[in-house]
A and B are shown apart, each in its own frame.
Chain A
Amino acid sequence: MISEAFIPAVTSLGAVALTLGVIIHFVSQKFHVEEDPMVTIINDILPGVNCGACGYPSCNQFAEVLVETKDSSMSCPVGGADLATKLGDTLGIAMAEPKPQIAVLMCQGSNGVARQTAEYLGIQDCWAATQAYVGPKVCKYSCVGLGSCIAYCDFGAMKLEDGLVVIDKDLCTGCEACIAACPTGVLTMQEKKAERYVIACNSHDKGAAAKKACDAACIACQKCVKVCPEEAITIDNFLAVIDQDKCNACGKCIDVCPTKVNCIRLEKDLKAVKQKQAS
């Protein structure tokens, strides 16, 4: 009895499916677009996160342009050197060696180190806080410490710790998404290195004012400038800057820095350190 009830349903739906199938077949033949199979292959190799770091809105777009132009200078910051060789092998061209970058926070004003202003009870977002007043920290150049950038990181490389954003050097791919998300401009992009010294301060205040606002502030005393054997450090508008091309990571600057909590920080990229040791 039940099977009888099924017969009209199965036959009618089957007929509809068959007719539509035939139509789809002819339409797909009629409107067929010739696509380079290479684009699909390249697209499969790419990380597929659509982060936009390469300058194209999606990985697919990047693949299309790469296949069409065969431009060897194009690079995917997320994939790095491994991906560049893979892409080169697939396309049969020599891809330029990419210069991987990472985000570096130029601030060490954690809770207790940086002086606080008034307590902030509003929306927990850096932009909302800086809209209301200078922010929870006295130094207007500092990391606000509410983590607006974290939501923009597709790779889970950022977290909030003790009033500062901490970047995981191994997870950061250098896509630059966090840079635009920061209201104080305290995040910067730097070339990936196994070891580096950075003046982790963003304050352009004069020495006395900077010291009043934060224990880890660069007071532009010039001591590190004088001690640096490579002459890599310069003072720009009351803030010391290390030229990473000249710096050989000797660490002499960190010994002479007079601020209570050193404003100079050693940054290590464990992945790169291991690679260096292996080679």
Chain B
Amino acid sequence: MKTFTIGGIHPPENKLTEDKAIEVMPVPAELCISLNQHLGKPAKPVVKMGTEVKKGQLIGEADGFISANVHASTSGKVKAVKPAPHPGGQYAMSVFITPDGNDEWLEGCNTAPVDWKKFSKEEIIAKIKDAGIVGMGGAGFPTNVKLSPPPGKNIDHIILNGAECEPFLTADHRLMLESAEEVIAGLEIISSLFEGKAKASIGIESNKPDAINALKQLGAPKGIDVIPLKTKYPQGAEKQLINAVTGRTIEPGELPFDKGCLVQNIGTAVAIYEAVCKNKPLIERVVTVSGMEITERKNILARVGTTFKDIISFCGNTTAHANQVISGGPMMGKAVFSFDAPVTKTTSGLLFINNKGLEKSKERTCIRCGKCVDVCPQGLGPWLLANVAQLRDFDEIQLLGLANCTECGSCTFVCPSKRELVHWIKYAKALVNNRQKRKTA
């Protein structure tokens, strides 16, 4: 079975919710839709306090080339436009909507599915852009930008990312089982943008045999390869997935299209299908609610803007021992600092854990065991990066390949001295950025 060549770890999978069907979450009492749900510039609000909005109506307009539209996820009245906590750890401008209970679609949205073959390439890209679709795996890069590579770059391999290598998360897994046809249709739409010349495949880790079978049956007649991958973290990272599926290596400084590859997430493929065929903007996503410290573990279809506190009450509250909540997976997710933070287009999971053990595990010195070097999928020396970061030598650290670190967390996971390697690397990145800003200012 295929897998990527350098590094990788095997954390306990803990896929506790893989058998739980996706539940549709009802409209909460208030929605807080963040205008910063993507990479790049936050969207510009186009509604004011008091504006009546319909479900699917544009409320934030893409501001610049790398930015994305934001839509209302139910009908109602805009209560306020003000900064609110963001699951990324900062405050972001958000539109608060009080739902009117009718959940009424904007005219022309969410129609009966039409055949996508009648649309031209430009029309499809425009529809994806209007629907505000971004990469739903976590980074949130605007999909329309990713689907229009610069001229001269020849895409010959399109890969759908069904690896879902993060422990606990099962959102993509459930989507592959329950919306297999939409996943395949989404991939076909993406292939059509490259005149069908590119090879289309879906990479799925072998711990999801049911999803592999389901997609194999549907994909085989359409020439879509379903490639089972040997389970290893971080297989779902773009560079590692390309390496696993095609054997190509993305060198430092290169982007996937330099090696003729294009990777899209499973959720993004479904969103593309819905945007093109049903004219439905991206207003909801599947979120895995899991972890040891929540009463009912579920996969839920939550509207963008549902706050975490509404999700907690929908899932029967936390247990008494819960003291940390993570948005995303346990490896790369971020600890949530406020339950008023909402679900965004990139929130793949919400984990409730007890970190009592972590408080005691204080950072110790490096013992040069080399485990972090073994597991680094980017071939870096995390111990050295962290040491140099601690010494604040920011010239040296850039020579050591600071920018190549994808912050996957494998090194921190294996470190026997419990060093916070990734956190030191993130710290160095922040200070290098600050220094460059000061230099240009």
Contact = CB atoms under 8 A, between A and B. Distances in A.
A binds B: yes
Counting chain A CB atoms within 10 Å of each CB, the highest count among B83, B423, B438 belongs to B423
A131 B432 CA distance: 13
A133 B423 contact: no
A138 to B, nearest CB: 9
A140 interface: yes
A54 B291 CA distance: 55
A152 to B, nearest CB: 9
A183 B430 CA distance: 9
Contacts of A183: 430, 434
B335 A131 contact: no
B434 A133 contact: no
Contacts of B420: 122-123
Given A133-B89, A134-B89, A117 B423 contact: no
B90 A133 contact: yes
Contacts of A127: 427, 430-431, 434
Contact of B359 (A121, A123, A128, A134): A121
B355 interface: yes
A183 B91 CA distance: 16
Contacts of A180: 434, 438
A132 interface: yes
Contacts of A118: 335-338
The contact size tier of chain B is 20 to 34
B358 interface: yes
A128 B359 CA distance: 17
Interface in A106-134: 117-118, 121-123, 125, 127-128, 130-134
Interface residues of A, number: 17
Contact of B337 (A121, A125, A134, A209): A134
Given A117-B338, A118-B335, A121-B359, A134 B424 contact: no
A134 B91 contact: yes
A133 B335 contact: yes
B426 A133 contact: no
B334 interface: yes
A132 B358 contact: no
Given A134-B91, A140-B91, A121 B358 contact: yes
A180 B430 CA distance: 13
Contacts of B337: 117-118, 133-134
A146 to B, nearest CB: 12
A133 B335 CA distance: 8
Contact of A128 (B335, B426, B438): B426
B427 A125 contact: yes
Interface in B282-335: 334-335
Interface in B82-140: 83, 85, 89-91
B334 A132 contact: yes
B423 A132 contact: yes
A134 B348 CA distance: 21
A2 B91 CA distance: 82
Given A118-B335, A122-B420, A140-B91, A131 B355 contact: no
Nearest to A116: B337
Interface in B323-365: 334-338, 355, 358-359, 363
B432 to A, nearest CB: 11
A122 B419 CA distance: 10
A18 B438 CA distance: 54
B346 to A, nearest CB: 16
Nearest to B392: A151
B424 A132 contact: no
A177 B438 CA distance: 13
A272 B336 CA distance: 47
Interface string B421-437: 00110110111001000
Interface in B384-441: 420, 423-424, 426-427, 429-431, 434, 438
Most buried by A among B363, B426, B429: B426
A128 B423 contact: yes
Given A118-B335, A118-B337, A180-B438, A134 B426 contact: no
Contacts of B424: 123, 128
B426 A131 contact: yes
Contacts of B426: 128, 131-132
Contacts of B358: 121
A118 B323 CA distance: 10
B245 to A, nearest CB: 32
A124 to B, nearest CB: 10
A180 B437 CA distance: 11
A177 to B, nearest CB: 13
Nearest to B424: A123
A145 B424 CA distance: 18
Given A133-B89, A140-B91, A183-B434, A123 B427 contact: yes
A118 B322 CA distance: 13
Contacts of B363: 123
Contacts of B89: 132-134
A264 to B, nearest CB: 26
Contacts of B338: 117-118
Contacts of B91: 134, 140
Nearest to A124: B363
A134 B90 CA distance: 5
A89 B424 CA distance: 50
A123 B438 CA distance: 24
Contacts of A123: 363, 420, 423-424, 427
Interface of B: 83, 85, 89-91, 334-338, 355, 358-359, 363, 420, 423-424, 426-427, 429-431, 434, 438
16 contacts: A117-B338, A118-B335, A118-B337, A123-B363, A123-B420, A123-B424, A123-B427, A125-B427, A127-B430, A131-B423, A131-B429, A131-B430, A132-B335, A132-B423, A134-B89, A180-B438
Given A122-B420, A131-B426, 18 more contacts: A117-B337, A117-B338, A118-B338, A125-B427, A127-B427, A127-B434, A128-B423, A128-B427, A131-B423, A131-B429, A132-B335, A132-B426, A133-B90, A134-B90, A134-B91, A134-B337, A140-B90, A209-B83
Q: Which 8 pairs between the two chains have the least Cβ-Cβ distance? A: A133-B89, A118-B337, A128-B427, A117-B337, A133-B337, A131-B430, A131-B426, A127-B430
